[in-house]
Structures are given as C-alpha cells and as structure tokens.
C-alpha cells in the first residue's frame, strides 16, 4: 500500500498568481484503495458487533427481570387508570407491565394489557416467522450461497434461535 503526497506549489490557499489552489495533492495507489475499502468494511463489522453486544446486554437484563419476577413480589402503586386517567377504584386490574385499569375500562374478557398488546403481538409474529424460516431449508441455503461470508449467515441463524440442537437417532437400537 502506498500513500503518495506531492507538493504542487503555491500556498495552499488559492494565492498563486493564476488564482489556482495548488497545495498538496494526496492519492492512493491501487492496492491502497482496496485496503481502504477493506477498512470501511471492517468499521461496518465492528458497528454490527457493537449492536449485537447491545442486544445481548439487553437480553441479560430481561433475564434478570424475569428471575426477579419469579422470586420477588411486585408492588403496584398506580393511582390512575391507564385508559381513562381517573383515580383507580375497585375493581381494578393490574398487569405485570405495570399498567392498571378499571375493570369497566377493559374490553370483555381482556387477558392482556391493551397498551402493550400491539408490541407483544409484533414480537410474537416475528417469533412465528423465525420458526417458519427454521423449517424453510431452501431459504437458508439460498442465503448461504448468496452471502460473501457464509459464517455470518450461520451465526445469524444461531443468534436468532432458528437453528436448534438436533439429536441423531441411535443406529439399529444402540
């Protein structure tokens, strides 16, 4: 890799007699330009890794919250209904997401928080799509063949839980 810098004359501020701004000209030779492209790709990979780390840390936080919910009592101290914003009175319904409602403000037989349900449904739909993709072996192999880095495709499948541990059946009753 070679970085070339050449002085073209002048003061670099457009102060030459002909008005040109000569100063320094910097260029990369062919191999250096390819290395620069590789560096840019490395920066993107580092950013992707940082995002993965953030997701992992978020997952760890969720695991701790779940364990906390399993072992400790949850105190509900909301004083207003999430739907109508009037003061809560009995009967009231409290959800684990910390939203509370008058029973009269909920639809009949409501079993999930109306505030959180849309987000929860989108997560469940994404999970179902991932499970469906796990059964679509052709899609996996198309992505694998179309990728420059097959390992990242496989790692992505593992990180999303799409590829699960399989057991090999014993041979002839062994």
pLDDT of residue 8: 54
CA–CA separation, 2 vs 28, rounded Å?
A: 6
Best CA proximity match to 103, nearest among 78, 81, 87, 77: 81
Residues of the chain with pLDDT under 50: 1-3, 12
Q: At what angle do helices 150-159 and 137-146 cross, to 10 degrees?
A: 140
pTM value is 0.39
pLDDT of residue 80: 92
**Percentage helix, strand, coil, to 5, in the chain?**
50, 10, 40
Contact 58, 50 (CB under 8 A): no
For the chain, how many residues are written? 174
pLDDT of residue 47: 83
pLDDT of residue 1: 44
pLDDT of residue 67: 87
């Amino acid at each position: 890799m070679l970085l070339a810098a050449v002085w073209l004359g002048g003061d670099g501020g457009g102060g030459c007699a002909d008005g040109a701004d000569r100063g320094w000209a910097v260029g990369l030779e062919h191999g250096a330009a390819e290395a620069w492209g590789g560096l840019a790709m490395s920066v993107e990979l580092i950013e992707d890794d940082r995002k993965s780390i953030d997701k992992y840390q978020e997952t760890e936080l969720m695991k701790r919250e779940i364990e906390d919910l399993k072992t400790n009592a949850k105190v509900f101290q909301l004083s207003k209904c999430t739907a109508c914003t009037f003061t809560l009175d009995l009967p009231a319904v409290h959800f684990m997401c910390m939203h509370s409602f008058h029973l009269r403000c909920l639809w009949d037989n409501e079993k999930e928080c109306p505030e959180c349900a849309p987000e929860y449904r989108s997560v469940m739909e994404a999970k179902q799509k991932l499970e469906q993709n796990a059964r679509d072996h052709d899609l996996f192999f198309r992505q694998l063949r179309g990728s420059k880095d097959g390992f990242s495709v496989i790692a992505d499948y593992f990180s999303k839980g799409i590829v699960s541990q399989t057991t090999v059946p014993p041979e002839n009753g062994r």
